């Protein structure tokens, strides 16, 4: 009788161990929260004259915005605007881009920057100044 109890205890322990070994991997795999290399995305931190505007997933979004503004007849934009932009790339797992926020900040910044006056002699533009000449 004692021998049967020992065998039953051993069998119960073995079955419990096997059952745990089968269940534990499913508990950890259920969440599947691990990130693979293909989950890594590149974002760009956008700076205009050293001031951070936000992040975008595609730098062409900002470049196209400026080009469209210039094409819409807003030629008063400085031709060096693209040179004033700085894009700093970063690899991230969780993409939280703010394209709309960046474009809104850029629009606000550019509206302030474009207030200038062109100097012309005989209908030929010779330069731009930030303030209107006194007496005008």
Residue-wise pLDDT for 75-87, tens only, equals 555 566 777 889 9
42 in the same domain as 10? no
Please state whether the predicted TM-score (pTM) of the whole model is above 0.75. no
- The residue ranking higher by pLDDT, 104 or 115, is 104
Is the pLDDT confidence value at 15 over 80?
yes
Mean pLDDT of 21-40: 65
Number of domains in the chain: 2
Inside any domain, residue 98: yes
Name the most confidently modeled range: 34-43, 46-55, 79-88, 107-116.
46-55
Q: Please compute Rg for the chain using Cα positions.
A: 32
Q: Which two tokens stand for residue 112?
A: 């302030």
Question: Where in the sequence is the domain holding 82, given as residue range(s)?
Answer: 37-129
Residue 63 is predicted with a pLDDT of 86
Inside any domain, residue 19: yes
Residue 88 is predicted with a pLDDT of 92
Inside any domain, residue 85: yes
103 in the same domain as 43? yes
Q: How many CB atoms lie within 10 A of CB 103?
A: 19
Sheet with 41-48, edge to edge strand ranges:
51-56, 41-48, 85-92
Mean pLDDT of 77-104: 79
60 in the same domain as 26? no
17 in the same domain as 41? no
Q: What is the rounded average pLDDT for all residues in the chain?
A: 76
53 in the same domain as 83? yes
Residue 7 is predicted with a pLDDT of 87
55 in the same domain as 22? no
Is residue 111 helix, strand or coil?
A: helix
- The residue ranking higher by pLDDT, 121 or 72, is 121
45 in the same domain as 1? no
56 in the same domain as 4? no
44 in the same domain as 10? no
Q: Which two tokens stand for residue 35?
A: 């990130």
Query: How far apart (Å, rounded) are the C-alpha atoms in residues 119 and 21?
Result: 82
Inside any domain, residue 134: no
**List of E strands, 10-107:** 41-48, 51-56, 85-92
């Amino acid at each position: 009788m004692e021998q049967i109890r020992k065998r039953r205890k051993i069998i119960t322990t073995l079955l419990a161990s096997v059952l745990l070994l089968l269940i534990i991997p499913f508990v950890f795999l259920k969440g599947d929260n691990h990130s693979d290399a293909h989950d890594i995305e590149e974002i760009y931190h956008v700076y205009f004259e050293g001031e951070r505007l936000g992040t975008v997933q595609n730098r062409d979004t900002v470049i196209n915005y400026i080009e469209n503004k210039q094409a819409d007849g807003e030629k008063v934009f400085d031709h060096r605007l693209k040179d004033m932009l700085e894009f700093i790339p970063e690899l991230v797992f969780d993409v939280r881009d703010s394209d709309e926020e960046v474009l809104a900040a850029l629009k606000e910044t550019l509206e302030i920057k474009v207030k200038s006056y062109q100097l012309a002699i005989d209908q030929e533009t010779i330069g731009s100044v930030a303030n209107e000449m006194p007496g005008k």
